[in-house]
């Protein structure tokens, strides 16, 4: 049987145009479109679970929530028996980047709807770094076409750290002000330039002011452990939330200052367990805590889940199920000033709900959005047509030349037999890195890698303007033992090409291959291509189905394991090595960057 098209889940009329009809349904004067009977209502407003509840839906919105909806059942009303199962509001992801899933907004939605996500707040600053404002508009328009609520935050920092990197585009205060007039822009994306905010940088203060004037939410990103004056200056500058905390004291500090503490569980960032202790052990009010994913790999989405995975994990850390669900529903809705639209099962709200058989395990049997069933038994019930990206969004990898092994040579100081170098240290399951040092041998005037001590080479290759520029340095933590190299055109946030390898010839082959296919991620070993995920849209996203991309990504992960890499989701770690707004040490097209001082440093100590 053919699946229904997504058009059946078009966005309902505004509440103001439907209120009288909802009243008529609630009063029994008109029939509901759908009635779900005999459920256990997870009420996120009161914190209760109310047995024996009926829900009546009309025009894609909840009309009646109470003990008996018989009066709302008419000849054309569809009736579903929940059989005593839980009725849970559709889950919200408060902060995430679609591009990190390697797929388009459409494919991301296809992957997460069966897992109960019915609202997402996406920050497309990845495509913004490649294509600028037109790229943001592309994802904005695609988001509007989805059968679930995909709200867009206008990227705030492109480039993320002016002077320390050069992105493919630049966004201005005027661009932000323009975007605030678009129908689906919900606020300003994470303000990563936290030193700029604390220093009253006119671009940062101008963007924040434009957002506040539009009555929209300012997203935060304070990636520092310093909770002293720089933190206080940042909060005073206007950001309203933050997802970069890693400790309980980080979450507490943010909440005390009136911010929302966003706790993330992505594919490689595990920050919920440590911070949730502020609630489970510190008795901090949970109303100002929000769950999110930030970055989810396609394999995670397809095989493990999305916000259901985060809620399940939070419950396992000691939260009551209702409290965890509040952090993924009503808390998010209130933060974005959308509590009259989403985040709860209550009259007037969009009819986004889940039928759940096991609350603690978040076993989702059915998913409804806007009153239409979109998924059942973990499978989509509808078809969402692919979104057609224009040619201008492709062929964005411009190398300027064919790379050779010699482009990755690092010349030692004259006469040196050994050198001490700075090394980027990867921390498993966390976004920050460590600033390490290592003593490396010199062979024929060139600095050699030391794979026995887990020190291999990292190179950043400029790919937006075809300059042919290559920045070389060293990295530790991947554990590669064989001859290999992995290159990716996903390299937050400027998205040049990052290549990590133990063999320079393989490094050249890997980078050149990405130039041929228009971007993606590829792994070579001894001249042979072991795995490739093509991402032709801005060099960031595939145009294939999510499950196909997940299968290719799994092949990549397995190939990395065979090369000695045992890191959890090492690709995600790889993609953040150029993120010059998260401490401690990063690489950019400018050079090696100390993110504790926001200064370029020399490779040699």
pLDDT exceeds 50 at position 6: no
**Paired strand residues for 488:** 498, 521
Tens digit of each residue's pLDDT (9 = 90 or more) over 126-177: 999 999 999 999 999 999 999 999 999 999 999 999 999 999 999 999 999 9
- Domains annotated for the chain, with CATH where assigned, are 99-317 (3.20.20.140), 391-599 (no CATH)
Tens digit of each residue's pLDDT (9 = 90 or more) over 532-545: 999 999 999 999 99
Q: What is the mean pLDDT of residues 215-236?
A: 97
Q: How confident is the model at residue 268 (pLDDT cuts 50, 70, 90)?
A: confident
pLDDT of residue 234: 98
Q: How confident is the model at residue 273 (pLDDT cuts 50, 70, 90)?
A: very high
**CA distances in angstroms from 62 to 13, 89, 375, 597, listed in the order given:** 13, 11, 19, 52
Burial profile 240-257: b = 16 or more Cβ within 10 angstroms, e = fewer: bbbbbbbebbbbbbbbee
Burial profile 163-184: b = 16 or more Cβ within 10 angstroms, e = fewer: ebbbbbbebebebbbebbeeeb
pLDDT of residue 5: 43
C-alpha span between 112 and 421 (Å, rounded): 43
* Coil/strand/helix, residue 551: helix
**Paired strand residues for 148:** none
pLDDT exceeds 70 at position 8: no
pLDDT exceeds 80 at position 7: no
Q: What is the mean pLDDT of residues 396-423?
A: 97
Estimate to the nearest angstrom the gap between the alpha carbon of 551 and the chain centroid: 20
pLDDT exceeds 70 at position 9: no
Q: How confident is the model at residue 430 (pLDDT cuts 50, 70, 90)?
A: confident
Is residue 506 within 8 Å of residue 533, measured between CB atoms? no
pLDDT exceeds 70 at position 3: no
Of 294, 298, 275, the C-alpha closest to 108 is: 298
pLDDT exceeds 50 at position 106: yes
Which pTM was predicted? 0.93
pLDDT of residue 1: 38
Residue 493, preceding peptide bond in cis (omega within 30° of 0): yes
Is residue 39 within 8 Å of residue 86, measured between CB atoms? yes
Tens digit of each residue's pLDDT (9 = 90 or more) over 545-582: 999 999 999 999 999 999 999 898 899 899 999 999 99
Do you know the residue count of the chain? 605
β-strands 48-58, 61-66 pairing: antiparallel
C-alpha span between 301 and 324 (Å, rounded): 20
C-alpha span between 245 and 228 (Å, rounded): 14
Q: How confident is the model at residue 267 (pLDDT cuts 50, 70, 90)?
A: confident
pLDDT exceeds 70 at position 2: no
C-alpha span between 359 and 365 (Å, rounded): 11
β-strands 363-369, 372-376 pairing: antiparallel
Poorest-pLDDT segment among 262-276, 303-317, 356-370, 484-498: 262-276
């Amino acid at each position: 049987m053919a699946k229904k098209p997504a058009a059946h889940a078009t966005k309902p009329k505004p509440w103001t145009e439907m209120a009288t009809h909802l009243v008529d349904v609630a009063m029994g004067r008109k029939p509901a479109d759908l009635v779900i009977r005999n459920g256990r209502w997870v009420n996120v407003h009161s914190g209760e679970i109310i047995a024996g509840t009926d829900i009546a839906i009309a025009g894609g919105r909840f009309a009646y929530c109470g003990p008996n909806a018989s009066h709302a059942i008419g000849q054309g009303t569809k009736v579903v028996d929940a059989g005593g199962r839980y009725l849970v509001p559709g889950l919200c992801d408060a902060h995430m980047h679609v591009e990190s899933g390697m797929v388009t907004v459409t494919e991301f939605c296809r992957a997460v709807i069966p897992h109960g996500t019915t609202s997402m707040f996406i920050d497309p600053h990845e495509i913004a770094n490649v294509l600028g404002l037109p790229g943001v508009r592309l994802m904005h328009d695609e988001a509007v076409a989805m059968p679930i609520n995909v709200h867009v935050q206008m990227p705030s920092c492109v480039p993320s750290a002016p002077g320390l990197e050069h992105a493919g585009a630049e966004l201005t205060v005027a661009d932000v002000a323009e975007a605030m007039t678009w129908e689906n822009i919900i606020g300003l994306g994470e303000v990563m330039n936290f030193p700029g905010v604390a220093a009253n940088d006119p671009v940062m203060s101008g963007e924040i002011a434009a957002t506040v004037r539009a009555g929209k939410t300012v997203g935060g990103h304070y990636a520092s452990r310093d909770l002293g004056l720089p933190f206080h200056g940042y909060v005073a500058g206007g950001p309203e939330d933050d997802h970069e905390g890693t400790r309980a004291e980080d979450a507490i500090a943010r909440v005390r200052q009136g911010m929302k503490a966003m706790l993330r569980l992505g594919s490689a960032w595990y920050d919920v367990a440590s911070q949730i202790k502020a609630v489970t052990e510190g008795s901090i009010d949970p109303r100002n805590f929000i769950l999110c994913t930030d970055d989810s790999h396609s394999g995670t989405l397809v095989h493990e889940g999305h916000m259901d995975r985060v809620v399940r994990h939070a419950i396992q850390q000691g939260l009551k199920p209702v409290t965890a669900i509040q952090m993924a529903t009503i808390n998010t809705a209130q933060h974005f000033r959308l509590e009259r639209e989403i985040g709860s099962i209550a009259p007037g709200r969009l009819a986004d709900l889940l039928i759940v058989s096991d609350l603690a395990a978040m076993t989702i049997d059915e998913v409804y959005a806007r009153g239409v069933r979109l998924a059942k038994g973990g499978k989509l019930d509808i078809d969402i047509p692919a979104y057609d990206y224009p040619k201008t969004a492709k062929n964005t990898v411009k190398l300027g030349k064919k790379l050779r092994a010699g482009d990755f040579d690092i010349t030692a100081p004259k006469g040196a037999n050994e050198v001490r170098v700075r090394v980027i240290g990867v921390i498993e399951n966390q976004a920050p890195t460590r600033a390490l040092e290592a003593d490396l041998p010199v062979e024929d005037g060139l600095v050699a890698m030391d794979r026995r001590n887990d020190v291999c080479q990292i190179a950043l290759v400029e790919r937006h303007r075809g300059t042919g520029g290559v920045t070389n340095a060293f990295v530790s933590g991947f554990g590669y033992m064989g001859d290999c190299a992995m290159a990716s055109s996903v390299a937050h946030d400027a998205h040049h090409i990052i290549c990590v390898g133990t063999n320079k010839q393989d490094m050249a082959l890997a980078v050149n291959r990405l130039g041929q296919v228009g971007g993606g991620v590829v792994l070579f070993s001894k001249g042979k291509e072991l795995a490739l995920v093509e991402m032709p849209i801005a060099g960031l996203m595939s145009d294939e189905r999510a499950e196909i991309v997940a299968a290719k990504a799994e092949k990549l992960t397995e190939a990395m394991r065979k090369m000695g890499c045992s890191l959890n989701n090492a690709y995600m770690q790889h993609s953040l090595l150029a993120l010059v707004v998260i401490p401690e040490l990063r690489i950019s097209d400018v050079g090696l960057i100390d993110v504790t001082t926001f200064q370029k440093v020399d490779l040699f100590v």
